[in-house]
Structure 1
Amino acid sequence: MRNPYLRSALGAPLTRRSALRGAAGLAAGGVLASPLLAACGDDSADTKSDAGSDAGPITFGSNYSDASTKDAFAALCQQAGGRTGVTITVNTSDHNTFQNNISNYLQGTPDSLATWFAGYRLQFFAAQGLLTPIDDVWEKIGGNFNDAAKNLSKGADGHYYLVPLYNYPWVVFYNKSVFSSKGYASPKTWDEFVALAQKMKTDGLVPLAFADKDGWPALGTFDILNLRINGYDYHMKLMKHEVPWTDKGVTDVFDKWRELSQYQQNGANGRTWQDAAKALENKQAGMMFQGSNQVAANYSPANLPDLDFFVFPSINPAHGTDYMDAPTDGFMLPKKGKNAAAAKKVLQYIGTPEAETSFLQTDHWDVGLANGLVAPTYNDIQKKSVAEIAKCKNVSQFMDRDTVPDMAAAMIKLIQQFIDSPTAATIATIQKSAEDQAKTIFSK
């Protein structure tokens, strides 16, 4: 899904400030082995985009490595190829490997197009001059998206660099059959949530399936507790280091998490999120907090109708359930990619309601972003996702998309320490370390 270990070609950490300084100086066919591992930086290489022929062919670098998502993306590329006349070859890499190598990949020999994330993770590479602006594409597709989607697709320089495809909510999933048989009700408040978790524990269930072997999943738990306790503005200020990590608000987040930790599945740092989702599907666990893009996609089609969710309960009445993580994914045009003219034709098609409708005929867990989207295949999870995201006053993009890569990397390690030892002493140590690292990272 996502991993923040992104570094420059020389190995030096890349920060928000250094990236923006760089910006100021710059005015489905077959699935093949990915070039990501072989790609490496070349400072002498020409960074001018290769316009090439608008007939292609092009290659599409993809991190959609899970079988279900890979199939949906392959269908989209096949449709795009048919509509544009461009031959598209998809190069798929393991999800985490893709993100771990993205910086070297973009500086080396990238594909014509690549999957990526909206928001700061997009701005970060646009500011380094590694992406081609696609304002000309947006002149044709701009009417298909609302202002929120447009803003998430822009770099810090105001130019467009992404065509968004979908987003998805981070919520608390459960099996309807388990709740019905046990007489459980979806909690609205923190106290009700904790009481439900305690009841599940008494009933012999793991209250919350939980995994963090990949490092990023637990960032979502921090995010939602922060959003519920301190609100969206505080979350964004913390991500920019406008609030210190030693602040009491951060302590409050970890204190709530410490209260919750006794109900989370043990050994999370050694477990993948896929295994945690299977514990929920197999009814060994009562609930799981994660994105629909993971949990629903991991369910077998036969069991998907039993899946349901509720938004994470309110903690601070001042913020209620006004916010959530709802990451947006889409496609970017690497500066060094070949046949940019053909790639832009494909992006122009992907940014249409027709393309999103086609994608969602196979994808049964994400929700499309294009205006005029016709989604007759939306299941109950997708319909509810649309409704709950629409209720939010604001949505965040997830910690490793909202802060600089090095800070996200630091928090992954520190949160894993907390998972292993959720004590007051650990919290104090984590906060001090986070603040010390933030001062260094954000001073560059």
Structure 2
Amino acid sequence: MTVSRRTALVRLATLWATPLVVRAADSPRALVVDFMISSGRQRTAWAQLINTFATLNPDLTIVANEFPQEDYKRHFATRLVREPVDLAFWFAGARLREAVRRGLLRPIDNRDTLQALGVRFTPASLDALQHEGKAYGAPVSFYPWGFFYHRPLFASLGLKPPADWSAFLAVSAKLRAAGVIPTAVGARNGWPAAAWFDYFNLRTNGIGFHRQLLAGEVPFGDPRVQGALTPWREMLRRGDFLAESVTEDWDACLPHLYRKAVGMVLLGAFAASKFPPQLAAEIGFFPFPQLNPQVPRAEEAPLDVVVLPARGHNPDGAQRFLRFLAQHEALNVFNRESGMLSPRTDTAAEREPLRRAGRDLLDQARGLAFFFDRDARADLVEPAFAAMREFLLPPHDLNRLLQRLETARRAGST
């Protein structure tokens, strides 16, 4: 078996891909797999996963196309329409359902594959792949969202991770009194701000209402939405967010955390892959605090999946890959290497404190949301991100935010 790397220009707008071609033996048909890469750590783990599968399937030639994150999301549908891809990375939630409705994906029709998935994966992760009674792929990774905080800073001020909103406000007040901005959000691309929107709504109105809202079934002018987001506006007007971070990328917030310029940052577990080794032990993790004690706790847990494109030419090889994900330890290794959590039921107990905290959080959740841009109706996402970026800037006009969201909802409903 030989592994070669080359850079190829895919004739798909300006999208670049780096195929990892694994040639185990001469084969009349290749197995083409598209994957989104968001970090070097993930890229290495992905290559290891593919090589393990190739070793176990020496009769296949595997072409694994690696795409940068934003390009992949932007051109996913176009590529599946034009290219014979056998397996593709995608997201659970509304984006998966939309791809099914557009005829881009085909369901699993192999009984052995369905049985293997059912034995090894958590019920919640498998439910996320169901549409009208059919399954459309296999879970790959998921991860929690929550607050990363500076442990020595909290200890020096006598602070503990807050469990409810009143405690959170008290922590923020003590940070401000010590000359530390409570938090930061790098919202240049919009989506980090959406985590705040999601959590305020989930903690106030619950996951059922949240899903209806993002599906466009409830007006954004509903008083329940305004009530949920009012604490966000109060934080912004009080100066609880580091102002210069708003126009930065998400990871630009982390140095502010390391330097104790801010005390805590709301991000997904992927942020841990950016922590410098010498500082990692200083960073702790706690869930988004409770706002309404009557609302069951739901957590943000974006679920990554591998789906079956409708135009794939090698359905047998694709089914073998799905069974491999369910049956081989390589998927658990992939998630440990990439910093994510495995949705399989046979994962070993987490040793690293941050990973253990994330696993415990999701195990105790009463419901899982997949994040705004994966749960929302597709036409709402970009207008919502733009509106949230504006809301983060003075005068932090909540009425205007809700008006812009409602305008987008109505435009997409006509």
- Please report the TM-score for the alignment, with normalisation by the length of structure 1: 0.83
The 8 Å contact of residues 353 and 373 in structure 1, kept in 2 or not, is answered as no
Match among 109, 124, 127 for residue 151 of structure 1: 127
The one-letter code sitting in structure 1 at the alignment partner of 2:266 is F
Q: 1:202, 1:110 → 2: CA distance?
A: 59
Structure 2 match to 1:290: 267
Match among 249, 253, 257 for residue 272 of structure 1: 249
Q: What is the DSSP-based 3-state SS (H/G/I as helix, E as strand, rest coil) of the residue aligned with 2:85?
A: coil
Q: 2:28, 2:333 → 1: CA distance?
A: 22
Match among 331, 347, 350 for residue 325 of structure 2: 350
Q: 2:143, 2:62 → 1: CA distance?
A: 26
Match among 188, 197, 218 for residue 243 of structure 1: 218
Q: What is the DSSP-based 3-state SS (H/G/I as helix, E as strand, rest coil) of the residue aligned with 1:236?
A: helix
CA-to-aligned-CA distance 1:79-109 (integer Å, 9 cap, x gap): 2222233343332222111111112122122
Distance 1:222 1:387, change over 3 A: same
Matched, 1:417 2:393: no
Matched, 1:189 2:159: no
The one-letter code sitting in structure 2 at the alignment partner of 1:415 is M
Q: 1:313, 1:340 → 2: CA distance?
A: 45
Higher strand share: 2
Distance 1:298 1:368, change over 3 A: same
Distance 1:79 1:55, change over 3 A: farther
Q: What is the DSSP-based 3-state SS (H/G/I as helix, E as strand, rest coil) of the residue aligned with 1:174?
A: strand
Q: CA RMSD in A?
A: 2.4
Q: What is the DSSP-based 3-state SS (H/G/I as helix, E as strand, rest coil) of the residue aligned with 1:80?
A: helix
CA-to-aligned-CA distance 1:155-179 (integer Å, 9 cap, x gap): 3x32211210121111011132222
Match among 303, 310, 313 for residue 289 of structure 2: 313
Deviation at 1:269, TM superposition (A): 4.1
Pairing 1:43-58 to 2, within 5 Å after superposition = 57-58=30-31
Indicate the larger mover: 336-345 or 408-417: 336-345
Match among 87, 94, 113 for residue 87 of structure 2: 113
Structure 2 match to 1:362: 337
Q: 1:331, 1:30 → 2: CA distance?
A: 23
Distance 1:131 1:35, change over 3 A: farther
Q: What is the DSSP-based 3-state SS (H/G/I as helix, E as strand, rest coil) of the residue aligned with 2:175?
A: helix
Any unmatched runs of 5+ in structure 2? Answer: 15-25
The 8 Å contact of residues 148 and 283 in structure 2, kept in 1 or not, is answered as yes
Deviation at 1:29, TM superposition (A): 5.1
Q: What is the DSSP-based 3-state SS (H/G/I as helix, E as strand, rest coil) of the residue aligned with 2:230?
A: helix
Deviation at 1:32, TM superposition (A): 4.7
Structure 1 match to 2:400: 429
Q: What is the DSSP-based 3-state SS (H/G/I as helix, E as strand, rest coil) of the residue aligned with 2:243?
A: coil
Q: What is the DSSP-based 3-state SS (H/G/I as helix, E as strand, rest coil) of the residue aligned with 1:129?
A: coil
Deviation at 1:433, TM superposition (A): 2.7
Matched, 1:141 2:117: yes
Q: 1:94, 1:88 → 2: CA distance?
A: 19
Deviation at 1:353, TM superposition (A): 5.3
Structure 2 match to 1:63: 36
Structure 1 match to 2:176: 201
Pairing 1:246-261 to 2, within 5 Å after superposition = 246-261=221-236
CA-to-aligned-CA distance 1:259-290 (integer Å, 9 cap, x gap): 12221121344200111123223433210101
Q: 1:427, 1:121 → 2: CA distance?
A: 27
Structure 2 match to 1:382: 355
Structure 1 match to 2:17: none
Any unmatched runs of 5+ in structure 1? Answer: 1-27, 41-52
The one-letter code sitting in structure 2 at the alignment partner of 1:430 is L
Structure 2 match to 1:89: 63
Distance 1:401 1:224, change over 3 A: same
Structure 1 match to 2:202: 227
The 8 Å contact of residues 27 and 61 in structure 2, kept in 1 or not, is answered as no
The 8 Å contact of residues 211 and 217 in structure 1, kept in 2 or not, is answered as yes
Q: 2:328, 2:13 → 1: CA distance?
A: 34
CA-to-aligned-CA distance 1:25-82 (integer Å, 9 cap, x gap): xxx9555546666269xxxxxxxxxxxx988532322212311221222222222222
The 8 Å contact of residues 31 and 89 in structure 1, kept in 2 or not, is answered as no
- Please report the TM-score for the alignment, with normalisation by the length of structure 2: 0.89
Q: What is the DSSP-based 3-state SS (H/G/I as helix, E as strand, rest coil) of the residue aligned with 1:101?
A: helix
Q: 1:417, 1:31 → 2: CA distance?
A: 42
Deviation at 1:246, TM superposition (A): 0.3
CA-to-aligned-CA distance 1:405-430 (integer Å, 9 cap, x gap): 1112221111111112343xx22122
Q: What is the DSSP-based 3-state SS (H/G/I as helix, E as strand, rest coil) of the residue aligned with 1:367?
A: coil
Q: 1:301, 1:107 → 2: CA distance?
A: 43
Q: 1:317, 1:34 → 2: CA distance?
A: 53
Matched, 1:302 2:273: no
Deviation at 1:110, TM superposition (A): 5.3
Match among 252, 260, 263 for residue 240 of structure 2: 263
Distance 1:381 1:39, change over 3 A: same
User: How many aligned positions are there?
Assistant: 397
Match among 362, 372, 390 for residue 399 of structure 1: 372
Q: What is the DSSP-based 3-state SS (H/G/I as helix, E as strand, rest coil) of the residue aligned with 1:302?
A: coil
The 8 Å contact of residues 269 and 419 in structure 1, kept in 2 or not, is answered as yes
Structure 1 match to 2:21: none
Matched, 1:335 2:310: yes
